[in-house]
């Protein structure tokens, strides 16, 4: 798994933000790279760049090893993201890639999964009790 943060801020702004703010919240600062997208090209490619405001909206994208976007979430600035939900989703996608099993809503690591089969059509309620 690799995490990369991207914003329209300069590399210098990222450095200062990490040293002045983030290092006080996370010991040693954030443990992943922050990329500068000053012209908005990455944000445009993912549909989160605002031409009017010149910023990227807060987007989160889970991209599998084949380069396929498996999940995404875009939030406007007033609402923060939930790192625990991101980690839950990563674990669920990794489990699916290893086993082929699928995870119902709210699944957490170690909880029951569903083994897909044509016999499940119309019968999921028999094997999954949320």
Chosen CATH of 1-78 out of 3.40.50.2300, 3.20.20.70, 3.90.1170.50, 3.40.30.10: 3.40.30.10
CA atoms within 13 Å, Cβ hemisphere of 86: 15
| CA gap 83, 91 in Å, rounded | 12
C-alpha–C-alpha distance, residues 97 and 41, integer Å: 30
pTM for the full model? Answer: 0.74
Angle at 84 between CA 97 and CA 126, to 5 degrees: 55
| CATH 3.40.30.10 in the chain, residue ranges | 1-78
Write the pLDDT tens digit of every residue in 41-56: 999 999 999 999 998 8
Q: Which two tokens stand for residue 4?
A: 């990369």
**Quick one: pLDDT band at residue 40, thresholds 50, 70, 90?**
very high
CB 70 within 8 A of CB 41: no
């Amino acid at each position: 798994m690799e995490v990369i943060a991207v914003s329209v801020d300069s590399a210098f702004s990222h450095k200062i933000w990490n040293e002045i703010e983030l290092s006080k919240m996370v010991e040693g600062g954030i443990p992943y790279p922050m990329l500068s997208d000053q012209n908005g090209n990455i944000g445009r490619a993912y549909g989160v760049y605002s031409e009017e405001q010149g910023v990227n909206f807060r987007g989160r994208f889970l991209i599998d090893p084949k380069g396929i976007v498996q999940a995404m979430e875009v939030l406007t600035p007033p609402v923060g993201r939930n790192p625990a939900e991101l980690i839950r989703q990563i674990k669920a996608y990794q489990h699916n890639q290893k086993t082929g099993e699928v995870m119902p809503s709210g699944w957490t690591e170690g909880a029951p999964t569903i083994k897909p089969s044509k016999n499940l059509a119309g019968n999921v309620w028999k094997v999954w009790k949320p």
